Amino acid sequence: GAVVSQHPSRVICKSGTSVKIECRSLDFQATTMFWYRQFPKKSLMLMATSNEGSKATYEQGVEKDKFLINHASLTLSTLTVTSAHPEDSSFYICSASFQNYGYTFGSGTRLTVV
Amino acid sequence: TQLLEQSPQFLSIQEGENLTVYCNSSSVFSSLQWYRQEPGEGPVLLVTVVTGGEVKKLKRLTFQFGDARKDSSLHITAAQPGDTGLYLCAGEGADGLTFGKGTHLIIQP
């Protein structure tokens, strides 16, 4: 079946630094990748949608300069949280889709900004 | 913007009881998916329903898609502690998936 690998699973960084999260589709080419943010005991909130080779489409209220998304290939998308602050601490999840594979989710990244 | 109302948001029941989780919307979806998520993990797909009126069974879980493809339900029979988790419904539309707020289910032994 389709597998999406997300790394790192946990990261702690200092306030003001940037953190990159990777999302890879291992056995299929992902036409579209999605990035979600999830607060404790809450549902997934879509942050942005990215298509390979084009700029990401951000949801309303999501700062594109703060959450940089790069989808340079059909198997890799990255989310960079720039100048991270404690309020950016959250659980970030990626998802990839391709034709009949539907949507496959990564295992998530727990970001803690101290 | 398509919205999905999921209820209940929290449910704690005893092992062996039955329960139903509902997912309702005013919008029509091309498909509706149910996921289960454990703490610290990504959502795992349980089932996708596509056809209005469709019923799918996965062991003790029964999923139903409304005739108008706007609502769905998840029924668990004889719940077990291993069923504990966050259950999410998600409707597929032109812009991708829209998630419900989730149902936190706790099955007490």
Render pLDDT for A17-61 as a digit per residue (tens, 0 to 9).
Answer: 999 999 999 988 888 899 999 998 899 999 999 988 888 999 999
Give chain A's largest Cα–Cα span.
41
Give the model's confidence band at A11: pLDDT under 50 very low, under 70 low, under 90 confident, else very high: very high
- CA-nearest of A83, A56, A57, A69 to A22 is A69
Q: Which CA distances in Å does B4 have to B12, B25, B94? A: 22, 5, 15
Please report the DSSP string for A13-29 in residue order: E-TT--EEEEEEESSS-
Q: Is B48's CB within 8 Å of A46's CB? A: no
Q: Shortest CB distance from A49 goes to which of B40, B44, B96? A: B96
Q: Residue B105's Cα: distance from chain center in Å?
A: 11
For chains A and B, CB pairs below 8 A equal: 53
Q: What is the mean pLDDT of residues A4-24?
A: 97
For chain A, positions 84-103, list CB contacts with chain B under 8 A. Answer: 91, 93, 95, 97, 102-103
Query: Residue B26 in 3-state DSSP?
Result: coil
pLDDT tens digits, B15-50? 999 999 999 998 898 899 999 999 999 999 999 999
- Which positions ≥6 away from A79 have C-beta within 8 Å? A20, A21, A23, A35, A47, A67, A68, A69, A92, A94
CA atoms lying within 13 Å on the CB side of residue B60: 14
